[in-house]
Structure 1
Amino acid sequence: MKLGISRQALVAALFGAAAVGTLSIAPQILSPEAGAQPIAIQAPAGAPMSFADLIERVEPAVVSVNVVSERKVNNTGDMEEFFEQFRGLPGLDEFLQQRRQQEEEGAEPQTREARSLGSGFFISQDGYIVTNNHVVENAVQIEVVNKDGDEMEAELVGTDPDTDLAVIKVKEKGHYPYVRFGNSHNLRKGDWVVALGNPFGFSGTATAGILSADGRELGNDSPYTDFLQIDAAINRGNSGGPTFDLHGNVVGVNTQILSPTGGSVGIGFAIPAELAQEVTQAIIKNGHVSRGWLGVQIQDLTEDMAEAQGMPNNDGSIIADVTEDSPADKGGLQRGDIILSVNGQKVSDATTTTRLVGRLIANTSNKFDIMRGGKRQTINVVVGERGDNLSAQRIPASALSEGSGENADEATMDSLGVTFVPLDDEMRQRLGLDEDEAGLVILEVEPGGAIEEAGLQRGMVILEANNEPVSSVEVLKKAIDAAKKANRTKVLIAVRVGQITTYRTIDISEDK
């Protein structure tokens, strides 16, 4: 496993964080030879008396990955690693700080050769191997060693630092034993799993345990991965190795541990098989992974918003805006749509939606289950490729200038405590709206009214009420009346603030 702290760590740390990798050969397409079959076994009923049959069958597909890499180092970095075990001694921090300043004023960091050990496994008969990105990072030489001790030179196909996955390929042509990816969603907490790998250089090591948890988030270093947590012993050198279910299917790729000592304490993490398969197939086909881009602005669906839409709970996220000519726009998603699931995976809030979309492979068709106008439907969207700067420029909120609306037709709603003026062409242009966009501009807000309690202010524009464009005060009144007839106490509104659209609710439970 990748350590990343000191040789004698005194505090808990995560090991095996992703880092930027490189590509070294042209992309190739995975195409197993005709008649080739992956390793598969019949799982025993209940708790097995032994894992020996399973391990004996899958072990030939598991390899040790030995890497020679180059890294830039300086003397201070080496000293800090050594002195970490003496952290807390008087004057140590000041001494290291002085050394850092001297390094900054001195020569450039030196390039040194480094050696690392990891694990991997064959996923095709023609020699493709899955491992971790951090195992082969900056590699200048890669060697794999199989169960029988045969050493084979390998080359880098591609990496995906965001998921800490990499694919290498044995240079020598041959017919290699391989395993296949399973489905981690079929596992339940408490199910048996078996991990194989090369911990501390001891190749062919097998450990067993259970699935401790799933859906683990490990911070911003892994934005696209919900990890499996397993208690099968995972140590340094297990990185990139497989975790198997009792059918011999790979359900996870071991990547990180949580440990105060650098050794296993029963908390290991694996990349789910479904994600690993998507990423590795993309690497084999294209040499890299292109992240999905939908082209929407989303926000959490609150309990009040769900109540306004007649939904039983607030699981989901609401689309606040759709970028013109984006994949979402072309696919038919609209402002106000509530995303319930992506490819069958339920959405709980805006964060999970962002993570799910970010994991999608560019130029693939994906199923979005949404709620629109109180009716559930499914829309298929071909996501685009995420670029460096896909966010449209946004102008912050700006109130109406003094004197604005004096000559316009004003309309007051005493029940909400607000005075509106119609949205005109000048305001549409200033707010970045389409020329035919309907809306009501808030001119005055009465203290204590429903509009003020909703946080709305002068200059904001109400575009929709319960999914209906608000072209006049009469339309807004009809939406409120319809909500009351349905025994609802909230109305969902789309509000334009500057060039940003957000959703809020207005309390109509009583006249304010």
Structure 2
Amino acid sequence: MRIKLFSVIALTSLLAFSPAQANIPFFSDKDETPTLAPMLEEVTPAVVNISVKGSREVRQRVPDMFRFFFGPNSPREQVQERPFRGLGSGVIIDADKGYVVTNNHVIDGASEILVTLKDGTQFDAEVIGTDANSDIALLKIKDGENLTEIEIGKSSDLRVGDFVVAIGNPFGLGQTVTSGIVSALGRSGLGIEEIENFIQTDAAINSGNSGGALVTLKGKLIGINTAILGPNGGNIGIGFAIPSDMMQALVQQLIEFGEVRRGVLGVRGNDLTADIAEALNLDAKQGAFIAEVLPDSAAAEAGLQSGDVIIAVNGEKVRSFADLSARVKTMGVGKPVRLTVLRDGDKTDFEVTLSAEEAAVEAATLHPALEGATLAANEDGGVLITELLEGSMAARYGLREDDIIMAVNRQAVNSVSELRNVLDSARGVVALNIRRGDSSLYLVLRGG
């Protein structure tokens, strides 16, 4: 009953528009029955099914009773290679070059990738580049013929309430089309990906839709379907798509470099709240409030200050600090960016050239007790342990992967270079303040 009611409401709403003025093909040629078929006939050939094969490492803990028989030096884990198969979706964005965009998790670990067009034609594909942090991957169809590409729209033009259509390959059924609206914009903090700035939609998205297209009623691509919230992986009307603007910025780098060379602005802060706006006497409701500008950063060189509020990037409105962070992280190193800032009630534009993201380093070069750990700057403060070798010196001291070093001997550190400087000046025992999940602890190192 609810489905029928939604259909009636949706069609009534659609009929309220003027198809001639909006240039949207709501009606068929033969009669005036509401339909999206003409638009879909143009768009769906650009949406493909992706099937993959490969093998992945599976780690299993060895029970203590078995380790007793094989001796204390026997491994704690067994590592096995197990074959896997997977299904997903993709979107052709360049027919001449055979470029297909999909999600990184669709093709992660795959040794064979097969792309199937709507008409059943199949082609092998190879990976051009991936970005796990944003869950984007770019493929190239080998020896592709008669390919159809999709027109890419501007996700920044979307509004909550706009009608959208999701196209993909749910549960391996084959190409399927569902419809809905934009439920929210700039969704973040979901813990799905490291970089989140999702379009939320109630168009039905299910397993296998990953990498598929979210399009407007004019057939323009405005999102790559990537995730859902729902029990047991089922659809409950809460789906998420990576905005097309973000996707394009990443794909351009993957084409040029084969990887994403992430830019860094060098600020910390939070969302502009009503309380902050009132305290600073600002005529704004949304934006990114800068609490701290890191020294020697791109923001510092451009003249940004703590207390500034960034309200637009390249003329496009900033909704939150997470929105700002996601946009910056998808732009390349050295990219010029125009930031519109509120300072003391006045609006000013700043030209900023993004600096390079600090590369991960082997921690043994900083302190012998950190041998076996790999470190990188953490966007929210501190220094992140990105990798940790089992049985290494750092592991024996009690460090874990994903720990964040917040301070050394009570001195805050927010980059690998800051950590190096503090450790170089430390003498004797070194106390690390660690953030682990929601808890905080101290670990003591020796041997510096």
User: Where does residue 287 of structure 1 map in the other structure?
Assistant: 258
Shift of 1:337: 4.0
- Measured in 1, the distance between the counterparts of 2:33 and 2:136 equals 31
Query: Does structure 1 conserve the Cα–Cα contact (< 8 Å) formed by 2:188 and 2:322?
Result: no
- Measured in 1, the distance between the counterparts of 2:177 and 2:341 equals 44
Query: Does structure 1 conserve the Cα–Cα contact (< 8 Å) formed by 2:270 and 2:288?
Result: no
User: Where does residue 122 of structure 1 map in the other structure?
Assistant: 92
Identity %: 38
Shift of 1:343: 2.9
Q: State which of 316, 333, 337 in structure 1 corresponds to 2:304.
A: 333
Aligned partner of 2:94: which letter? S
Query: Aligned in 2, Cα 1:44/1:101: closer, same or farther, shift over 3 Å?
Result: farther
Query: Aligned in 2, Cα 1:321/1:212: closer, same or farther, shift over 3 Å?
Result: closer
1:62 counterpart = 2:47: yes
Query: Aligned in 2, Cα 1:339/1:97: closer, same or farther, shift over 3 Å?
Result: farther
Shift of 1:357: 3.1
User: Where does residue 213 of structure 1 map in the other structure?
Assistant: 184
Q: State which of 208, 230, 233 in structure 2 corresponds to 1:262.
A: 233
Aligned partner of 2:290: which letter? I
User: Where does residue 164 of structure 2 map in the other structure?
Assistant: 193
Query: Aligned in 2, Cα 1:204/1:102: closer, same or farther, shift over 3 Å?
Result: farther
Greater Cα radius of gyration, structure 1 or 2: 1
* Range with greater deviation from structure 2 (96-105 or 190-199): 96-105
Query: Does structure 2 conserve the Cα–Cα contact (< 8 Å) formed by 1:121 and 1:241?
Result: yes
- Measured in 1, the distance between the counterparts of 2:33 and 2:219 equals 13
Q: State which of 204, 220, 224 in structure 2 corresponds to 1:233.
A: 204
Shift of 1:374: 4.8
Aligned partner of 1:62: which letter? V
Number of aligned pairs?
Answer: 340
Q: State which of 21, 25, 32 in structure 2 corresponds to 1:44.
A: 25
Q: 3-state DSSP class of the match of 2:196?
A: coil
- Measured in 2, the distance between the counterparts of 1:252 and 1:102 equals 55
Aligned partner of 1:230: which letter? T
- Measured in 1, the distance between the counterparts of 2:182 and 2:101 equals 21
- Measured in 2, the distance between the counterparts of 1:285 and 1:262 equals 36
Query: Aligned in 2, Cα 1:213/1:372: closer, same or farther, shift over 3 Å?
Result: closer
Q: State which of 384, 387, 401 in structure 1 corresponds to 2:358.
A: 387
Query: Aligned in 2, Cα 1:352/1:152: closer, same or farther, shift over 3 Å?
Result: closer
Query: Aligned in 2, Cα 1:249/1:297: closer, same or farther, shift over 3 Å?
Result: closer
Larger relative contact order (Cα-Cα within 8 Å, sequence gap ≥ 6): 1
- Measured in 2, the distance between the counterparts of 1:223 and 1:48 equals 44
Q: State which of 123, 144, 148 in structure 2 corresponds to 1:152.
A: 123
User: Where does residue 457 of structure 1 map in the other structure?
Assistant: none
- Measured in 2, the distance between the counterparts of 1:193 and 1:313 equals 29
Deviations 1:235-294 (A, max 9, x none): 111110101111110111111111213222222111111111111222112111122212
In structure 1, runs of 5+ residues without a counterpart are 1-40, 78-95, 399-429, 431-512
Q: 3-state DSSP class of the match of 2:248?
A: helix
Q: State which of 219, 222, 243 in structure 2 corresponds to 1:248.
A: 219
- Output aligned runs, 1:103-502, within 5 Å: 108-126=78-96, 127-298=98-269, 309-312=280-283, 316-318=288-290, 320-324=292-296, 326-334=297-305, 337-347=308-318, 350-372=321-343, 374-388=345-359, 389=376
Q: 3-state DSSP class of the match of 2:35?
A: coil
Looking at secondary structure, tell me which structure has more strand per residue: 2
- Measured in 2, the distance between the counterparts of 1:45 and 1:138 equals 42
Q: 3-state DSSP class of the match of 2:226?
A: strand
User: Where does residue 433 of structure 1 map in the other structure?
Assistant: none
Deviations 1:302-354 (A, max 9, x none): 77765665434575413533412x32233333455443333334456655544
Normalized against structure 1, the TM-score is what? 0.59
Query: Does structure 2 conserve the Cα–Cα contact (< 8 Å) formed by 1:182 and 1:251?
Result: yes
Question: How much is the aligned-residue C-alpha RMSD, in angstroms?
Answer: 3.6
Query: Aligned in 2, Cα 1:43/1:99: closer, same or farther, shift over 3 Å?
Result: farther
- Measured in 1, the distance between the counterparts of 2:270 and 2:229 equals 32
* Range with greater deviation from structure 2 (355-364 or 230-239): 355-364
- Measured in 2, the distance between the counterparts of 1:220 and 1:58 equals 32
In structure 2, runs of 5+ residues without a counterpart are 1-21, 360-375, 384-406, 412-421, 423-448
Query: Aligned in 2, Cα 1:282/1:256: closer, same or farther, shift over 3 Å?
Result: same
- Measured in 2, the distance between the counterparts of 1:295 and 1:69 equals 39
Q: 3-state DSSP class of the match of 1:283?
A: helix
Aligned partner of 2:210: which letter? S
User: Where does residue 438 of structure 1 map in the other structure?
Assistant: none
